[in-house]
Amino acid sequence: MSKLLLYPLLIVSLILISCSGTTNQYISPDYEDQNLNDSVSIFKIEESDFSETNPDHTFGTLSAAETSLFNERLFELFSEATAAEVTQHLNFSDFPDLTFQVRHFDQNGTSLHILAPEKGSKLTNDGDGVSPRFVLLLDGYNFNIFQDLAPGFSYGGHEPETVTKANFETKYLIWDNQIQDAVGWGKVNSEQVVNLAQINEEYDNLILQTIKEMIPRSPFAPRRS
């Protein structure tokens, strides 16, 4: 690829990644800085569960390997980030009678469209006797690998120096089963230079850093090192 073509492509990449890094988070004032240790479960919005009833929704797109890693590591990584009691993954089959639809949440300048249950719903697994106070819903989660300009690079008539980066992004919703409604939401991501030979470890760190972006704007107490 010629320099003339590569330069503008890299510039466009920088602009797009910069825009995607903008956080869009809200937490109800009643829950801000609460640092609660109440129980919380995780529920991932899966295309296979919701595409029939929400055909126009944009779901997360993970490869088979990424899906396996995400499913295996999410629970442990979330437990590393918070002192709250992380109980389990919830599955769509745990509440088959609940209706989910794309809802628009907007408060204090934030705006988010996300698949969510109707107000008045309780997200629990009664069969296992698990009734968490909170549920963290994740939707539209993606990993992206891309080439970027190396830090400190200036053109000066030279071939652009590039590095391989990856980012992870997700939309999320914090559901309080006591009031049976959303109390927080947002879209967060993390980005870093990666070594493709150690991509699983790199993905682990991206997920963890993204979760840590949620914690300050949540009712969950951070885990102290």
Within-domain flag for 171? yes
DSSP state, residue 203: H
Within-domain flag for 18? no
Q: Is the dihedral of CA 94, 86, 182, 203 positive or negative?
A: negative
Within-domain flag for 11? no
Within-domain flag for 15? no
The pLDDT value recorded for residue 158 is 64
The pLDDT value recorded for residue 37 is 79
Within-domain flag for 1? no
Q: Is the dihedral of CA 195, 199, 201, 207 positive or negative?
A: positive
pTM for the complete prediction? 0.84
Within-domain flag for 199? yes
- Rg of the Cα atoms in the chain: 19
Kindly state the tokens that stand for 37. 């240790």
Q: For the chain, which residues score pLDDT lower than 50?
A: 1-22
Within-domain flag for 103? yes
**What are the beta bridge partners of residue 43?**
90, 137
The pLDDT value recorded for residue 47 is 93
Residue 110 is part of which domain span? Answer: 23-144+166-217
Domain count, the chain: 1
The pLDDT value recorded for residue 153 is 55
Among residues 137, 150, 67, the alpha carbon closest in space to that of 103 is found at: 137
Within-domain flag for 175? yes
The pLDDT value recorded for residue 96 is 86
